[in-house]
Amino acid sequence: MFNVPPVVIATAAVLILVHVFRMFLTEEQDVEFLLTFSFIPARYGADFVEGSLPGGFGADLWTFFTYAFIHADLLHLGINLAWLVPFGTALARCFGAWRFMTFMLVMSAAGALAHLVSHLGEMVPMIGASAAISGAMAAAMRFVFQHGGPLGMLRETSDDAYRVPAASLWATLRDPRFLLFLAVWLGLNALFGLGTVSLGEEGQEIAWQAHVGGFFAGLLLFNAFDPAVPRGEIDTEPTA
Residue 129 sits in a domain whose CATH number is: 1.20.1540.10
Q: Which residues contact 109 (CB under 8 A, 6 or more apart)?
A: 64, 65
C-alpha span between 71 and 127 (Å, rounded): 6
55-107 pLDDT, tens digit per residue, is 999 999 999 999 999 999 999 999 999 999 999 999 999 999 999 999 999 99
Residue 149: name the closest of 184, 185, 174, 177 by CA: 177
Looking at residue 106, its pLDDT comes to 98
Q: Is residue 92 within a helix (H) or strand (E), and if so which, with residue range?
A: helix 74-95
99 within some domain: yes
- Burial of 94 per CB tally in 10 Å (0-12, 13-18, 19+): buried
240 within some domain: no
1 within some domain: no
112 within some domain: yes
| Residue 140 · residue 188 · CB < 8 Å | no
124-172 pLDDT, tens digit per residue, is 999 999 999 999 999 999 888 776 556 655 445 556 666 677 778 898 8
Number of separate domains in the chain: 1
C-alpha span between 110 and 65 (Å, rounded): 9
Looking at residue 199, its pLDDT comes to 54
- CA 148, 150, 151, 157 dihedral sign is positive
Looking at residue 240, its pLDDT comes to 39
43 within some domain: yes
| Residue 136 · residue 88 · CB < 8 Å | yes
85 within some domain: yes
Q: Which of 107-111, 177-181, 190-194 has the highest mean pLDDT?
A: 107-111
123 within some domain: yes
Residue 171: name the closest of 230, 87, 218, 90 by CA: 230
Hey, which bits of the chain come out as E strands? none
225 within some domain: yes
Q: Which domain holds residue 182?
A: 6-235
First-to-last alpha carbon distance for the chain, in angstroms, is: 24
